Amino acid sequence: MEIPTYDDVVSAHARIAPHIHRTPIFTSTFLDGLTGASLFFKCENFQKAGAFKVRGASNAVFGLDEEKAAAGVATHSSGNHALSLSYAAGKRGIPVTVVMPKTAPEPKKAAVRGYGGRIVECEPSTSSREAMLAEVVAETGAEFVHPYNDPRVIAGQGTCAKEIVEQLGPLDAVIAPIGGGGMISGCCLTLSAIASQAKIYAAEPKNADDAHRSLKAGHIIADDAPQTVADGLKVPLKELTWHFVSRYVEDILLATEDEIVEAMRLIWQRMKIVVEPSSAVPLAAILKNKHIFAGKRVCVVLTGGNVDLDKLPWMAA
């Protein structure tokens, strides 16, 4: 298992700079008052392709040699990695095939196709995704770029935390959502190297709490198909992300479905920005655990803004 280093993050940042945004950091006096903390929101919802995942995808795609690139790339993803890899492959002019669950949000499928990606649908479970992906790779010879269990992807995601440190200076804590653990692993990789005083928290839906249970148990516990409004956080940890989570994450805090939706609504109402449910889980966790963050300088990673505007979670069914 190849473990990426901070040197890989620095190289990734230089490689992907022409293809990504250096996203802004927003604040909210109202949310500071509500939580008792000084919150700084890293707005990856404004990133190319609408999510942080374009960092890791771009690092993987633009790091390929010409021979491998010619065969194209492939992945499985419920959405943001799918459209991010499609974006990066489109920028490089190489083919991309994405295995997506039938239940993935339609706007994310449309975005994949818009970037030139080919979609192969599967059942909404991790096992189904992986089986279908194996068939695609055997058929096409494409380079598999895992959504998170890939050192190139984690190094790319680590560039987000690098920007956070450059933009904000000293912090008490950084909190981000956790599904497979790519963003959190990138935070761990970077912050342990250049801002080790900052505690790293992950936030997870209570309905998909396998990372929380894994951290408590000391080994990976994988759920195959949990149900949560935070569709980007349904996947389990893998060995590479577990390496970082088990060593550097202070705690994994949980939020209920209602708490996630309420936090998402707060961000929309008070900050006037579009975030998807997965992005709201950290704020929900902070609101539920104010005692941990009160009086602290805390960076909250808003991981993406790709939502189905016709199916917002507070709309009547």
187-226 confidence digits (pLDDT tens):
999 999 999 999 999 999 999 999 999 999 999 998 877 8
Q: What is the pLDDT of residue 108?
A: 82
The CATH number fitting domain 54-144, selected from 3.30.70.100, 3.40.50.1100, 3.30.70.890, 1.20.1250.20: 3.40.50.1100
pLDDT band at 311 (very low <50, low <70, confident <90, very high): confident
Q: Tokens 């990789």 correspond to what residue?
A: 189
280-287 mean pLDDT: 98
* 270-280 b/e (C-beta count within 10 Å ≥ 16 → b): ebebbbbbbbb
The per-residue pLDDT for 88 is 97
Residue environment code for 205-220, b if the CB has 16+ CB neighbours within 10 A, otherwise e? bbbbbbbbebbeeeeb
For the stretch 64-97, pLDDT in tens is 999 999 999 999 987 889 999 999 999 999 999 9
Q: What is the pLDDT of residues 120-154, one digit of tens each?
A: 999 988 889 899 999 999 999 999 999 999 999 99
CATH of domain 6-52+150-302: 3.40.50.1100
Residue 90, pLDDT score: 96
Residue 313: pLDDT above 60? yes
Q: Indicate if 54-144 has the same CATH topology as 6-52+150-302.
A: yes
Determine the Cα–Cα distance for residues 12 and 8; give it in Å rounded to an integer: 6
For position 259, what pLDDT does the model report? 97
Claim: this prediction has a pTM higher than 0.85: yes
Q: Please give the pLDDT value at position 316.
A: 63
Residues in the chain: 317
Report the percentage of the chain scoring pLDDT > 70.
99
pLDDT at site 81:
92
Show Cβ contacts of residue 21 under 8 Å, excluding neighbours closer than 6 positions.
46, 47, 48
List the domain boundaries for the chain. Answer: 6-52+150-302, 54-144
pLDDT at position 105: 79
pLDDT of residue 158 exceeding 80, the answer is yes
pLDDT, tens digit, 9 for 90 and up, residues 219-263: 999 887 789 999 889 889 999 999 999 999 999 999 999 999 999
Cβ count within 10 A of residue 49: 28
Residue 317 has pLDDT above 60, yes or no: no
Residue 125, pLDDT score: 84
134-142 CB contacts, 8 Å cutoff, 24+ apart: 136/74, 136/97, 136/99, 137/74, 140/71, 140/72, 140/74, 140/95, 140/97, 141/71, 142/71, 142/72, 142/73, 142/74, 142/95, 142/96, 142/97
- What pLDDT score was predicted for residue 224? 75
